[in-house]
Structure 1
Amino acid sequence: MQLQRLLSITRKAVDEYRMIQEGDHIAVGISGGKDSLTLLYALHGLKRFYPKHFELSAVTVDLGFPDFDLEPVRALCADLQVPYRIVDSDIYHILFDLRRESNPCSLCAKMRKGALNQAVKEMGCNKVAYGHHMDDIIETMLLSLIFEGRFHSFSPKTYLDRMDLTVIRPLMFLGEADIVGFQNKYQLPAAEKKCPVDGYTKRQYAKELVLTLNQEHPGARERMFRAVLSGNIQGWPERFPNTHRKKQPE
């Protein structure tokens, strides 16, 4: 996928859900993976021509996995001239050494987001951008249906009143395959995954389920995504689908 297409699809999400306002300071949550690095490229490129001016920073919560190398990410941020902060934590030690969690994902996410949001506020940012994409939204919807008995997925834009912080997801119209293509074309320095339960989670089950459904019923993936967009999910912001301009950046 070309950078120009990435910027166009990202702007579509930003415009239709009014994710960015004049004077925003947005922190990109960098996990070190392909999704968050693609998001960094997208917002860095958007910043050059978007009519509403905003500042951009980046932050990583280092979970403490052994041999987790963030130096390539640090170098990328320096090259893009994006201020970058790494927050050290003992999350890995707490989850796997002290508590010996067999299903650590929920607690890990809660602890990671807490540390991330605190750092974002300390950096003077009013918004934090996550690298969730279309497939993440579909998988979350399926997990909610199967394990919670409700039709739900995370929102494109969420205001956290206790933190006075807004979460945005500008990659929501991009599929994971698009991001893999962008990663390969631009050789993103994605860090190697270190989590010992990676590939053995409910999220992985949902990913494989979506793949199977789409193979057996071509187009099912896109139909599920449209169902989420039109599902009147509680907490989702209003969508303005005609606000996206088709003019491409120079």
Structure 2
Amino acid sequence: MAFVRDNLKENRLFRKFRHEVGRAVADFSLIEEGDRVAVAVSGGKDSYTLLLLLDELRRRAPVDFEIVALTVDSGYRGFRTDIIESFVTSLGIRCHIEKTNHFEIISEKRREGSSYCSFCARLKRGVLYGLADRFGCNKLALGHHSDDFIETLLLNQFFVGSLKAMSARMLADNGETTVIRPLVYVSEADIRTFAREAALPVVCCCCPVCGTADVQRKRMKTLLTELEKDIPHIKSSLLRALSNVHPRHLLDSSLRNG
């Protein structure tokens, strides 16, 4: 799999990603001197792309930092952690696979009708915080791309009644780990194309609801696709809106300044 790195210099999208991630790092101070960054690697196209970009940044950036790849095995039968480990180690990056009994916990504790994915994500996030601490990492990098930010914004507005999305950089609930999302300016469509061109060894999570869950998020994707036909720049506009907030024109009384 070493050929993937060899081909990166010639890949147009990877060069574009480097610029977009560099911009995100500068805009939100995502990577700083002496950082030790835990990269959550699920085996999907997004986390592989994130890992490759942070490895490239580590080699080229004027600041010195380290990366460690962390994978949470939730216990779903058929999940190919061996493929993930082989790919990561072929890049010369330290890899740790954490086996858990999340599948059993979810099967036993999840309320009927509640989101399978949300429950699983919360469990994984807790494990990742613990692993980041164990491996001496002060930051945890997640592979959320620009579409995730936009869809989360719409989901919260439509179904929760809250004006929020994601943050490119935020202190985690444990008060110790800083969560960073360097792919904030990178689109899912570009990542999908890049993963295919680079022949990334994508593996399925093998969860029981794979491909059928996140119905509401899929609705947001469909809505945005339809709107793009008439408003081609809608996604970039929505993403810009997240950094162009005017509190005086909102209804939250806690923001009132007279």
Q: What band does the TM-score fall into relative to the shorter chain?
A: 0.7 to 0.9
RMSD over aligned Cα atoms: 1.7
- Of residues 199, 209, 213, the one that matches 2:212 is 199
Partner of 1:53: 64
8 Å CA contact 1:95–1:101 kept in 2: the answer is no
Partner of 2:80: 69
Partner of 1:39: 50
Q: Given the alignment of the two structures, is residue 18 of structure 1 paired with residue 32 of structure 2, yes or no?
A: no
- Of residues 173, 186, 198, the one that matches 1:186 is 198
SS at 2:213 equivalent: coil
SS at 2:204 equivalent: coil
Higher relative contact order (CA 8 A, sep 6+): 1
For 1:85 and 1:186, how far apart are their aligned partners in 2? Answer: 23
Q: What displacement does 1:196 show? A: 2.9
Q: How many residues align?
A: 233
- Larger CA deviation: 220-229 vs 120-129: 220-229
**Unaligned stretches of 5+ in structure 2?**
1-11, 248-258
Q: What displacement does 1:100 show? A: 6.8
For 1:99 and 1:162, how far apart are their aligned partners in 2? Answer: 23
TM-score (norm 2): 0.85
Q: What displacement does 1:203 show? A: 1.8
- Of residues 231, 236, 239, the one that matches 1:217 is 231
8 Å CA contact 2:42–2:205 kept in 1: the answer is no
For 1:22 and 1:89, how far apart are their aligned partners in 2? Answer: 33
Query: In the superposition, relative to structure 1, how do residues 11 and 164 fare at CA in structure 2: closer, same or farther (>3 Å)?
Result: same
Q: Given the alignment of the two structures, is residue 127 of structure 1 paired with residue 145 of structure 2, yes or no?
A: no
- Of residues 98, 117, 120, the one that matches 2:129 is 117
Partner of 1:105: 117
The structure where helix makes up a greater share of residues is 2
TM-score (norm 1): 0.87
- Larger CA deviation: 164-173 vs 210-219: 210-219
Query: In the superposition, relative to structure 1, how do residues 44 and 232 fare at CA in structure 2: closer, same or farther (>3 Å)?
Result: farther
Q: Deviations over 1:9-35 (max 9, x none)?
A: 111101111111100000100111000
Partner of 2:180: 168
8 Å CA contact 1:134–1:175 kept in 2: the answer is yes
**Unaligned stretches of 5+ in structure 1?**
234-250
SS at 1:60 equivalent: strand
Counterpart code for 2:226: T
